[in-house]
A and B are shown apart, each in its own frame.
Chain A
Amino acid sequence: MLRRALVNTVRVAQPLAVARVAIPAFRASRPAVPSTFRSYSAAAGLSREEITSRILDTLKSFEKVPAEKLTTSASFSKDLSLDSLDAVEVVMAVEEEFGIEIPDEEADSIQTVQQAIDYIEKTPEAH
């Protein structure tokens, strides 16, 4: 019994050893294949459509914003009739939604929905 098992092991082990030696040469001769694994460290990057829909959702949650006037080209003060304090609150809500902090100077320049979308799009930290 033991002897048969030993013989079997040797029989199996022999071809395996040969195959192991042969592998490097085989690999070197093979053409490069595109990798099939996924790199989880890659940046996620938000699509423009997703940014737009999330910003519009954020704005919809404001009571003062008239839903029928809400478009991507709308200006906070002219079209949505928000005052300067409300505009600051909108920028804060966008910050919270995307998990970023917008510097005051940049926040001042965001006066329309489109400008908010553009800012998020060029900010890699937004998620």
Chain B
Amino acid sequence: MSTPSKTSLLHLYGGLLRASRSFSSYNFRTYFISRTKRVWKEFQSNPSPERVSDFYKANLEELDILRRSAVVNSIYGGRKLVVESNQGVKRLRSDN
């Protein structure tokens, strides 16, 4: 497998963040967002050219897993927590 380009790595990073964001449970959502950021920042601070394609492949699989889990989680998401109860209404439309 050839080395993935910088653009495709960044697209994968964006896809992972989007998939993490789509969890309906607050705990899963915040955990996967911070986990994705932590793992990628670690890799960025210690880049090794020979590991890039392995990293890319592992994260591609992770993206699939996250997407599937997010769908399942949206079915069994449960109620909103107290900490997120006000998040949806912080800003209303400009004309009301």
Contact = CB atoms under 8 A, between A and B. Distances in A.
Interface of A: 44, 46-47, 50, 54, 83-85, 88-89, 91-92, 95-96, 101, 104, 107-108, 127
Interface stretch (B13-21, B48-56, B57-65, B72-80): B13-21
Given A96-B21, A101-B18, A85 B13 contact: yes
A107 B94 contact: no
Contacts of B93: 44, 127
Which one of A54, A89, A127 has the highest number of Cβ atoms from chain B below 10 Å of its Cβ?
A89
B19 to A, nearest CB: 11
Contacts, number: 36
B94 A46 contact: yes
A108 B13 CA distance: 12
B40 interface: yes
Contact of B94 (A50, A88, A92, A104): A50
Interface residues on B, range: 10 to 19
Nearest to A51: B94
Given A44-B93, A44-B95, A92-B14, A85 B40 contact: yes
B7 A108 contact: yes
Given A91-B14, A92-B14, A83 B44 contact: yes
A92 B40 CA distance: 15
Contacts of A84: 6, 10
B35 interface: no
Contacts of B18: 92, 95, 101
B11 interface: yes
A91 B15 CA distance: 12
Closest 9 CB pairs of A and B: A104-B11, A92-B17, A88-B14, A44-B93, A88-B13, A88-B10, A50-B94, A44-B95, A84-B10
